[in-house]
A and B are shown apart, each in its own frame.
Chain A
Amino acid sequence: MRNTTRTPLSDRGVRMHATARPRALRRLTEGLAPYALALPALALMALFVYGVGIGVLQGFGIAPFLDRFDFTLEYFREAFTRSDFTSSLCFSLFVSLMSSLIALGGGILLSAALVKAKSGSFTQLLGLQIPIMSMHALVALGFIFLLSGSGLLARVLYVVGIVGSPNDLPSIVGAPSGWGIILVYAWKEIPYVAFCTITIMSHVSDSLGEAAATCGAAPVRSFFSVTLPLSLTASLKAFLVVFAFSFGAYEIPFLLGPTAPKALPILAYLEFQDPDILNRFYAMAINGIVTLVCALAALVYFLVLKHERKEGGR
């Protein structure tokens, strides 16, 4: 699909327009054209890489705007010796791994169910696109209304007689297990994973699934041996995006997370805001560790992408 380069036609000078221009000049402009087209996007991405890079460098003690150029690992050492950092790292890893695993499993299940139920575009609008476009923080608010001590669930349980007072339920805000955060991510990202896999799953179900069924494969078996392997790369990519996102996001752990341990982005921002400018180096060391984890996810993502393209013959 992607091999549409220039046709030999234009090279032979059939194009009436271009024949007037010298051949060498035309070659040059055609050679430079892709770079010119890519330039605006390159500029934006250069700013992105610069922002991430200059931040991570500060974690190593290098901050040109403060006239500091000495490389040091002191801030990383400080991070790993502080107990609040290590517990934050574990908390962040736990919450984003749980969220992305639930999103992966739930998303594949939902995608399969939507295909099996032959859902139309309106069902997919309600089930997939509305959660995808809702802002995370608002979902958190909705769940606070539902599940907090005096929320709707507690009221229902009170009427049934299970709960006596608003304080009897485990609180969604500030739970050290982070279940509130995981719940919000599951609500948002199960549809996201389903969205990423549903196209390939419905194609497989239309073509190969029929073949498998004709050959006598039971539906469950054909799902596990045909549909699932073929949608693996799509779901793996979605899983990595969800993991990296939930690992580095600020809003949901800020609204629903416990005071201790704090998620890494919260911890980093607290240090970043500190009036003592030296704390900024420490904040950036934390960001460096967040970046490292997400860069590993990105690396796996690119490997999956490369493998997928090779398989797809592009």
Chain B
Amino acid sequence: MSARKNSGARWARVLVVLQIACVALPLSIIAVWAFTDSWPWPNLLPESFSLRGMQTIVRGGDATGLGCLLLSVEISVVCAVLTTAVAILAARAICFHRWVGRTAFEYLTMLPFLIPTTVFAMGVQVAFIRLHLAYTAFGVVLAHAIVALPYAVAIMTETTCGAGQAREQAARTLGASGLRAFWHVSLPTITPGILSSLCMSFIISFSQYFLTLLIGGGKVRTFALILFPYLSGGDRTIAGAYALVFLATTLLVFVAFRVILRKTGGSTEETALYGEA
């Protein structure tokens, strides 16, 4: 019995190691190509390395380079803050109140999970042009927020319902105003949820290509937008460099949020990053 159990655990470990290797392989080869100068067939290792790819990004400036990365980060930060703020309120409506339409509202916020972004983007483009939101950074932020909202609401609902309202009401009974009670009592308990919601919304916004293309119309040049044509192009070094900078930025943001989470005393186990399909 125990021998069988051990062999089961061993197989499980082998499987986990294999899966991590499969995850690492395509990401590592991107990192290698980013610094490769020439890698002729059929060599197993690159012949020479160079910084040509990275230089291309730095020299690209505002049109195709670091300026786009900065704009992307700005758009995604604003989107993350906006989405999370909206989700905090929505979660309170879902967790603390009984009202007509609550379940319908909950289902409604999940719709962008399941109805494709492509359909939404092609449909809403005309409306965004009419409202003068198309081709502006704010329009892109708004469109990204819609796509990120289901994740943010799911995270905030779980945290808010879990935290409950008892302590906030105790503070109010003692005379604190609604806002003060929320700020001093509830906010600290839902901080882990807020952090993962910010992180998730940032990453979703940062990775949008199609939606940005249609709403930004090519005028709002985010990093995902300028990176995309390189992926099907011929220059592997430049494609690798763009992809590496993109991946590094996402990872950096993720790690930063985990560090903050740990510093604020939250458990990274419970408030892990929510999945994006």
Contacts and interface: CB of A to CB of B under 8 A. Distances in A.
Contacts of B138: none
Contacts of B47: none
B102 interface: yes
Contacts of B119: 52, 55-56, 248, 287, 290-291, 294
A19 to B, nearest CB: 12
A148 B89 CA distance: 48
Nearest to B98: A5
Given A109-B15, A250-B118, A48 B111 contact: yes
B42 A158 contact: yes
Given A37-B92, A48-B112, A250-B210, A187 B29 contact: no
A159 interface: yes
A268 B275 contact: no
B169 interface: yes
B228 A137 contact: yes
B175 A17 contact: yes
B256 interface: no
B42 A145 contact: no
A169 to B, nearest CB: 12
B70 interface: no
A159 B44 contact: yes
Interface stretch (A39-47, A72-80, A83-91, A224-232): A39-47
B22 interface: yes
A135 B99 contact: no
Say which size band chain A's interface belongs to.
Answer: 35 or more
Given A138-B243, A156-B44, A166-B41, A219 B93 contact: no
Contacts of B121: 51
B105 A38 contact: yes
Nearest to A46: B108
A145 B33 contact: yes
B116 A245 contact: yes
A51 B128 CA distance: 9
A152 B49 CA distance: 17
Interface of B: 4-5, 8-9, 11-13, 15-16, 19-20, 22-27, 29-30, 33, 41-44, 85-87, 89-90, 92-99, 102, 105, 107-124, 126-127, 130, 142, 145-146, 149, 153, 161-162, 164-166, 169, 172-173, 175, 177, 203, 207, 209-210, 224, 227-228, 231-232, 236, 239-240, 243, 246-247, 250-251, 254, 268-269, 272-273, 275-277
A127 B19 CA distance: 7
B272 to A, nearest CB: 7
A15 interface: yes
A189 B254 contact: no
Contacts of A187: 22-23, 26
A192 B11 CA distance: 21
A115 B16 CA distance: 10
A1 B166 CA distance: 12
Contacts of A294: 114-116, 119
A9 B115 CA distance: 43
Interface in A267-305: 268-269, 272, 283-284, 287, 290-291, 294-295, 297-298, 301-302, 305
Contacts of A34: 93, 96-99, 102
A295 B111 CA distance: 9
A119 B41 contact: no
Given A34-B102, A45-B109, A250-B210, 6 more contacts: A5-B96, A9-B169, A41-B89, A141-B30, A192-B275, A291-B116
A93 to B, nearest CB: 14
A254 B114 CA distance: 20
A56 B115 CA distance: 12
Contact of B26 (A114, A146, A298): A146
B272 A129 contact: yes
A181 interface: no
Contacts of B102: 34
A133 B276 contact: yes
Nearest to B45: A155
A117 interface: yes
A2 interface: yes
A246 B172 CA distance: 48
B225 to A, nearest CB: 11
Contacts of A10: 169, 172-173
A131 interface: yes
